[in-house]
Every structure is written in C-alpha cells, then in structure tokens.
Amino acid sequence: MSSIGVIGLGAMGSAMAHNLVKAGHDVVVWNRSDGPADALVAAGARRAATVAEALRAPVVFSVLSDDGAVAATFLDSGVLAQAAAGTVHVNLATVSAELARRAEAAHAEHGVGYVAAPVFGRVPVAEAGALNVLAAGEPALLDRVQPFLDVIGSRTWRLGDRPEQANVVKILGNYLIACAIQSLGEAVSVAEGAGVDPGQFVELLTSTLFPGPVYTGYGSMIAERRYQPAGFTTLLGRKDLHLALDAAAGQNIPLPIGELLRAVFAEAIADGRGADDWAAIAERQPRATGD
C-alpha cells in the first residue's frame, strides 16, 4: 500500500481520491470545507487537519481552481517548509506558465519535487479513472508518481521536463475547445435561422465531419440550449482563455480568435451566464427561437 495525499476535494479531486482509495492506496485528504472530506473518510481515506499534515505523504496531489488558490495554499503560506523530505507535489490545476515556473522554483528551494499534471476530461471521465493526464517535470519524479497517475487516467502524456510545458498544452487545449464552441454556436444559429432542426444538424456534423466528444457534447448542449448543470463554467472558461492569451503574448504571437472570444466571454458573463456551462457563450449568437 502506498500513501498519497489529496488536497482539494471539488468534484474532480473527490473523484480522483475515491479512485485512489478503491485502488488500495492509503489516501490522506484535506479540503477547506468538511463535507467532501467526510465522504472520503467514509470511503476509507484518512483526514488531514492541515495542508502541512497532508504534505507529510511521499506523494501529494492538489486539485485546486486557479493560480490564486495554488499560490495561497502552497507558495505564500510557508507550508512547503513543513513538507516531509523528498515529498513530490503533483499539481493537477490549470495554471499559468508563470505560476508553474514560480511554483517549481519555490518547491526546489524547500527540497520538494514538483510535477504539473493537468487533465483532459470532465467529472464522469474522472469518476471512471479514464482521464488523459498531461504531465511534465523531471523524469525521475514522473516515474515516482506514475503509478498514481495510472489510477486516475487512461493515458499519461509526458510533455517535457519543465512543469510549465504541461500547463501550456492544457491551456491551448481549452482554448481550442472555446474556439469550437464559438464556431458551433455560429453554425447552429445560421442553420436554425434557415429552418433546419438544430439537433439533426449537430447529429449530421458529429456523425460525419467532426466526430468526437467536443463537437458531440457541446453541439448537443447548444442545440438543446442546455447549460445546466455546468461541467465547466463560463467563468472558468474565461480564466483559461486569458491564460492562453497571456501565454501567446509572452511569445509575441497574436491570437485573433482569442481576442474575439475575450469579448464573447465578457458579454456572456455580463448577461448572467457565469455559472452556466461555458457552452452558453453560444447564446451570444442570434437564435431563431428563445428570448
């Protein structure tokens, strides 16, 4: 039995922790609120009273929301100085390249290994242990944590020896999803205006030209105007879009579609759709029916 800490028990973190428990690992969990930790303890995990206590495990996963949460929890709190010698921290959050560089340096200063491992896949995929894991960091550290990554994912993509590389790939993947959502919204709007059934239109596209989960899943949501429950909110989508724009700006590479999307996300959030699934940005397009 191997010991692993899991910090951050939102829907994704809870799913990963449950799978690690089911795989027979000794799982130590910490969360700001008690409810998710209670459910994991009932399933066989142990509760850590503090982040520092969770960092006593030889491998620690963190599944937090953004740069601010990661910085507050690990970089600005002094907690890394209390980590057990040789601990490896696997950060599964979608964070900026800048934050990844800062985190790698801070962990190295305290003798703590640092790996980035953001994932592709929504909560049902996490529950099935079938995530695609985007991993980057020192090869020896990746080898150490690979058995745990094998529990949460169907494949680990090793993308480089600098943690920021995994974060940039994740950011760009989400950027392309946002582009697909916008183009789907545009196409559905025009087809619907011509009297074509939007559901049939999406079925045709995803059965022929654009098979795959992005066009199928988001196309259906747009056709049905179904944006709750949100698998990934518009607010989080805007955050990741801005990360993509920042990464490109750091290389002096323009993202013209990204600038369009910046305005689209701002308008969608101003319309009150921040808590809706980010497919709701399609509602910025004129529709033949509705409000």
CATH number at 13 reads 3.40.50.720
CB-CB contact of 79 with 52 (8 Å) = yes
The domain boundary, picked from 161, 179, 209, lies at 161
Distance separating alpha carbons of residues 97 and 250, to the nearest angstrom: 10
CB-CB contact of 11 with 123 (8 Å) = yes
CB-CB contact of 142 with 113 (8 Å) = no
The domain boundary, picked from 161, 176, 193, lies at 161
The per-residue pLDDT for 291 is: 45
The helix/strand count (H/E) of the chain reads as: 12, 9
CB-CB contact of 269 with 236 (8 Å) = no
30 C-beta neighbours (distance < 10 Å), count: 23
The residue whose two tokens read 């989508």 is 237
Q: Are residues 240 and 194 in the same domain?
A: yes
247 C-beta neighbours (distance < 10 Å), count: 20
**What would the pLDDT profile of 170-211 be if each residue is shown by its tens digit?**
999 999 999 999 999 999 999 999 999 999 999 999 999 999
Distance separating alpha carbons of residues 102 and 238, to the nearest angstrom: 22
The domain boundary, picked from 161, 180, 214, lies at 161
Q: Are residues 142 and 244 in the same domain?
A: no
Model confidence pTM above 0.85? yes
Does residue 291 sit within a domain? no
Question: Catalytic residue numbers?
Answer: 170
The per-residue pLDDT for 148 is: 98
H-helix or E-strand spanning residue 29: strand 26-30
Distance separating alpha carbons of residues 9 and 7, to the nearest angstrom: 7
Residues in the chain with pLDDT < 50?
291
50 C-beta neighbours (distance < 10 Å), count: 12
Query: Structural domain tally of the chain?
Result: 2
